[in-house]
């Protein structure tokens, strides 16, 4: 392979990504670089939304199939390649929820064991479990458009510009939506803890 392509952690991009994307249109090895870089990010983003390994694997496969088949038509129109991949993943999630029905939400209990193994304090573990249940309950009450922006921002770790590209809106709308989503989350949270 030509060149040494290293990850940039802050920008969530590969060094030389634009060049890799162009090469990937005709070179399977270049596509493999993109796949290896984005697969864990997209898998984590989707899994946190659906809470099922099987559904996440199916959605990630569908996402990368669309990326692969649509790559020849991809043009950087001010958004990163990563934003384009997340947009495809988000659209697949929307389709999934349409098929599954609006009541299908995340089941945090089926997620990886997030307990801190170093902390064997049963009281703290109980408090964390209660907090996790409360977060799950609050998320079930949140409107889908708020969930979408919260997941992209906090689980997908996307910047406002990238979220705007994924959701096909402008950065101001993303900021407003994020602010409203956080206020709504806080309002619901306070109603449970008071």
At 21 the pLDDT is: 92
d(CA 88, CA 60): 10
The 3-state DSSP class for residue 5 equals coil
Q: CATH for 1-104?
A: 1.10.1740.10
Where do the H-state alpha helices sit in the chain? 17-24, 28-50, 53-70, 81-100, 122-141, 144-150, 160-167, 171-193
At 12 the pLDDT is: 55
Give, for all 194 residues of the chain, the pLDDT tens digit.
444 434 333 345 678 888 999 999 988 888 889 988 999 899 888 888 888 888 888 899 899 989 998 998 888 777 789 889 999 999 998 888 888 764 445 444 444 444 444 555 666 666 666 777 777 788 788 888 888 888 888 777 788 888 888 888 888 888 888 888 888 887 888 888 77
Q: Residue 120 corresponds to which tokens in the numbers above?
A: 């064997």
At 113 the pLDDT is: 47
Cβ–Cβ contacts within 10 Å for residue 85, how many? 24
At 148 the pLDDT is: 85
d(CA 187, CA 2): 53
Residues whose CB falls within 8 Å of the CB of residue 179, separated by 6 or more in sequence, listed in order: none
At 166 the pLDDT is: 86
- Are the beta carbons of 58 and 64 closer than 8 angstroms? no
At 125 the pLDDT is: 66
d(CA 186, CA 119): 28
């Amino acid at each position: 392979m030509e060149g040494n392509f290293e990850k940039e952690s802050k920008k969530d991009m590969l060094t030389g990504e634009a060049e890799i994307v162009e090469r990937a249109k005709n070179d399977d090895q270049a596509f493999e670089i993109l796949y290896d870089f984005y697969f864990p990010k997209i898998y984590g983003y989707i899994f946190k939304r659906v809470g099922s390994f099987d559904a996440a694997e199916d959605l990630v496969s569908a996402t990368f199939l669309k990326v692969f088949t649509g790559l020849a038509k991809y043009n950087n129109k001010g958004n990163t390649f990563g934003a384009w991949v997340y947009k495809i993943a988000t659209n697949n999630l929307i389709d999934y929820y349409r098929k599954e029905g609006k009541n299908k939400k995340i089941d945090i209990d089926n997620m990886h064991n997030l307990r801190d193994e170093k902390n064997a304090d049963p009281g703290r573990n109980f408090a964390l479990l209660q907090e996790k249940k409360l977060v799950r309950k609050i998320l079930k009450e949140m409107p889908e458009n708020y969930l979408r922006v919260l997941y992209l921002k906090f689980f997908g770790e996307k910047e406002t510009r990238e979220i705007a590209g994924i959701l096909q809106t402008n950065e101001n709308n993303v900021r407003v939506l994020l602010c409203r989503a956080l206020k709504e989350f806080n309002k619901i949270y306070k109603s449970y803890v008071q």
